[in-house]
Each structure stands twice: as structure tokens, then as C-alpha cells.
Amino acid sequence: MACNVVVLISGSGSNLQALIDSIAHDGNPARIAAVISNRADAYGLVRAQQAGITREVLDHKQFADREAFDAALVEAIDRHQPDLVVLAGFMRILTPAFVTHYSGRLLNIHPSLLPKHKGLHTHQRALEAGDSEHGCSVHFVTEELDGGPLVVQAVLPVLADDTPDSLAQRVHQAEHQIYPLAVRWFAEGRLRLGPQGCLLDGQALPAQGWQIRP
């Protein structure tokens, strides 16, 4: 049975592209029902159009406050009857009401090895902290910003001559591997959020999620 996915973006949408490409393959049950952006100029909308996917713009600046925007966003998303909502570079902080509504079916990707470096400028902060490893994480979204249960992480070595840009580039490539993987697990019914954390094939995942070293 198909798994309806709604993807939320604000920008380039390279993770969206990775999802589109992965879904074209061998029996992946995920189906992107719609792409919704809060910015009309997000390049990800062009990617959606090229893939023949329904796309919508919901401009947060047209709403009085966060609550009103999120309520409209829920309406727009739910018209597509999603089994899963995927945040792919969606640069908005979500209200508790939104997060609760999609509890257990809302995923995000973050460019650090969470719980390290929540928030912005993660590559620079990893370098400043002298981390020997850096990477990216897919997690279920809870009310705590960048704090939900971890599904999968890609772990990369930090090289002696790395800059924030070089790190960002490698981390971004790794994102394109782990996000399609997590979405596919969910679509296949293998990944669930249980009361104690993430379950993969009925087994509890470790606190840092499934780790790959690409």
C-alpha cells in the first residue's frame, strides 16, 4: 500500500530531490502527494514541478501569528491525507499544536550529530568545538527543537583542512543518503515511534539512531 508523504520546504530542496529520486526505484511504497513551501521563490518548487508533483505556497507573512500560519498549514497538508510529513529545509519553528497533530508521523533532518549542535551554523560550531566527527541526523519531531528521537545518523570524519563550506558539502551529500532511507523505512512500516523511542522492525533503536559511515 502506498504511503502518502507531504514534504515541506523553504529553499533549494536538494533533500526533496533525493527523495524524489529514491521513490522512482524498485517498489518504494512512498509517494509524494504534495510539496508545500512558505516561500514562493524556493527552488524546490521547480524540482516538484519537474517531477509532476502538486505544489503549493503558503506564505507565513500573510498570517497574523505563528498559530494562524500553522493552523492553515495543517489544513493544507491534511487535504493530501498524509501518512508522513517530511521537513526538508523548512525554516519555520512549529507550534506545539502542529507538532502534536503530526506526532509519530513528522520527520526532520538536521545537519549535525544530534544532540550536538542544535540550531543554526552547525558546521562552523563543529569546527570551533574541535569535533573529530560531524554529520547529520534524521529524527522524529517533538516539541523540543531538534530534540526528538533519533532515527538515523551519518557520521563523517572532520578533516584537518575542513572549512565550514567543505564540511557542509559532505554533510549535505550524506543527508541525501539517510533521508530517503528513513522515509523508506517508515513507508514500508518498518519504522515507528513508540512510547520509549524509535522502533525499527519492532526493535528499539539506540539513542543515537542507526548510524552509517558513508
117 is known as an active-site residue: no
Q: Give the type of residue at 181.
A: L
Which residue is associated with the grid cell 542507526? 210
- Angle subtended at Cα 82 by Cα 171 and Cα 9, rounded to the nearest 5 degrees: 35
Window 12 to 41, contacts with ligand GRF (CB under 6 A)? 12-15
Q: Is 11 in the site for ligand GRF (CB under 6 A)?
A: yes
Residues in the chain: 214
> CA distances (Å), 161 to each of 97, 135, 165, 213, in order?
44, 16, 11, 20
Q: Binding of ligand GRF at residue 147 (CB under 6 A)?
A: no
Q: Which stretch binds ligand GRF (CB under 6 A): 5-13, 27-35, 98-106, 156-164?
A: 5-13
> Cβ of residue 37: shortest distance to ligand GRF, in angstroms?
10
Told to check if 148 binds ligand GRF by CB under 6 A, we report: no
Among residues 133 and 201, whose Cβ is nearest to ligand GRF? 133
From 82, 111, 149, 209, residue interacting with ligand GRF (rule: CB under 6 A): 111
Residue 171 CA to residue 179 CA, distance in Å, equals 12
Gap between the Cα atoms of 21 and 188, Å rounded? 17
List, by residue number, the catalytic residues.
Answer: 110
